[in-house]
Amino acid sequence: MLNFPLRIEPAALGFAPGPDARDFVGRSLQAEGVPICVWLTKPVFEYLPDICDKWKAADFPNTVKLLDTMFCVSEIAPPNDGELMELYAEAFHKVWNALHKQGPKIAAGATSG
């Protein structure tokens, strides 16, 4: 497995709908050394010149919600070993504990900055 996709629920973390929660969690995990990437930020059809003007993202609210709430832990492939995976898990725990304790404050700061 090269990328491990994850999806978060912004409201559960004290964030408004949109990509702010995904971006904040991603940056926080990156700061802890976890290789995070956001693969897509807009629907695939918006990348295709022949059809990009035929549809609008607003017509696909479920797609937009998925794009706004998903990110990937990348580089999950050999030769990474159990020790490295433990470090990633510790980073997740650290970020999640901070969000659990400070979620609304963090969310307010993330959307105003």
Q: Are strands 36-37 and 4-7 parallel, antiparallel or unpaired?
A: unpaired
CB 69 within 8 A of CB 21: yes
Report residue 101 as tokens.
């304790």
Domain residues for the domain of 93 are 4-112
The predicted pLDDT at position 110 comes to: 60
CB 72 within 8 A of CB 40: no
Other Cβ atoms less than 10 A from the Cβ of 94: the count is 14
Q: What CATH code is carried by the domain that includes residue 23?
A: 3.90.1150.10
The predicted pLDDT at position 38 comes to: 93
107 burial (CB, 10 Å; 0-12 / 13-18 / 19+) is buried
pLDDT band at 35 (very low <50, low <70, confident <90, very high): very high
| Share of residues in the chain with pLDDT > 90 (%) | 42
Is the pTM value of this prediction over 0.75? yes
Task: Evaluate if residue 66 carries a pLDDT over 90.
Answer: yes
Closest alpha carbon to 13 in 105, 112, 113: 105
Work out the average pLDDT over 12-26.
89
- Chain centroid to CA 100: 17
pLDDT band at 6 (very low <50, low <70, confident <90, very high): very high
Structural domain tally of the chain?
A: 1
